[in-house]
């Protein structure tokens, strides 16, 4: 079932917000990893992700940018809330976000099926967290694998991207039936782009976190963009599970939904 959200009530008060945690020590020298991906020794998660993906084990990539965010596991259909909580490193936890989102009329169970509402929720969250006053949130339609987005990632931008998740939670094409949210916290350009980036088809990978895994994932940007563009309809299985979900009037594939849209954050 689905419903249209009522006008939002005032934002609820939350407990004191704790400071953001720092990246765990990489111990610099990780004997168990040998010399593989030594160029990433300052970032343990990045190094382990590249070793697992079998990329750049002997030499560094042409260009990369990575920002650490603490992993948070989701409970229930709260992947978007968890991704947003990771963006502020848990300073506002998923349960607090669920309270806010319910008060605003964006969700019933933790689902977030509107990028526009996610932008509003992010702005509310930033107002609660110290040192986030300079972070800007922008809604983007299309252009996920464009040269402009890639350059902004290289310059330190972070993304929240809805996509279809496969069994291993990597991007796939299921018409929106397995819609999921990921935090894109880095980018790797595998070769000199010369004039323009190849729209992520081959030489651009993104570094991602989501609520179904504690590990950093490495995905092809173009594949993620294709998955983002195929979010046409709400899952028939979820529509029959007895829960009431809040969906945009024109569905997840409409202008107020998820399809071919993402959030970009700059100013960290």
Active-site residue list:
79
Q: Which residue has the tokens 């570094």?
A: 207
Q: Which of 94, 209, 100 is nearest to 159 (CA)?
A: 209
| Alpha-carbon span 116 to 261, nearest angstrom | 9
Quick one: tokens of 105?
């009329």
- Cα-to-chain-centroid distance, residue 147: 19
| Alpha-carbon span 188 to 203, nearest angstrom | 8
Instruction: Give the SS3 label for residue 45.
Output: helix
Length of the chain (residues): 268
| Alpha-carbon span 30 to 26, nearest angstrom | 8
Enumerate helices (H) and strands (E) in the chain, giving the number of each: 7, 10
Phi, psi of 18 (to 5 degrees): -80, 155
Q: Which of 64, 60, 57, 40 is nearest to 221 (CA)?
A: 64
Contact 3, 244 (CB under 8 A): yes
Per DSSP, the residues of 222-248 read: HHHHHHHHT--S--HHHHTSS--EE--
């Amino acid at each position: 079932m689905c419903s249209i959200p009522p006008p939002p009530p005032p934002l609820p008060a939350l407990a004191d917000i704790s400071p953001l945690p720092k990246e765990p020590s990489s111990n610099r020298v990780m004997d168990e990893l040998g010399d593989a991906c030594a160029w990433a020794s300052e970032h343990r998660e990045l190094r382990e992700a590249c070793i697992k993906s079998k990329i750049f084990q002997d030499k560094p990539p042409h260009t990369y940018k990575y920002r650490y965010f603490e992993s948070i596991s989701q409970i229930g259909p709260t992947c978007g809330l968890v991704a947003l909580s990771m963006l502020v490193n848990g300073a506002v936890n998923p349960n607090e976000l669920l309270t806010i989102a319910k008060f605003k009329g964006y969700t019933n169970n933790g689902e977030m099926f509107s990028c526009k509402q996610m932008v509003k929720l992010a702005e509310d969250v930033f107002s609660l967290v110290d040192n986030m006053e300079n972070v800007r949130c922008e809604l983007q339609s299309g252009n996920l694998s464009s040269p402009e987005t890639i350059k902004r990632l290289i310059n330190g931008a972070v993304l929240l991207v809805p996509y279809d998740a496969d069994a291993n939670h990597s991007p796939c094409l299921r018409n929106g039936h397995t819609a999921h949210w990921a935090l894109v916290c880095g980018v790797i350009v595998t070769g000199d782009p010369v004039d323009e980036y190849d729209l992520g088809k081959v030489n651009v990978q993104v570094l991602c976190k989501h609520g179904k895994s504690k590990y950093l994932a490495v995905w092809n940007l173009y594949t993620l963009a294709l998955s983002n563009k195929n979010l046409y309809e709400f899952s028939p299985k979820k529509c029959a599970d007895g829960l009431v979900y809040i969906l945009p009037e024109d569905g997840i594939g409409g202008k107020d939904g998820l399809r071919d849209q993402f959030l970009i954050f700059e100013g960290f």
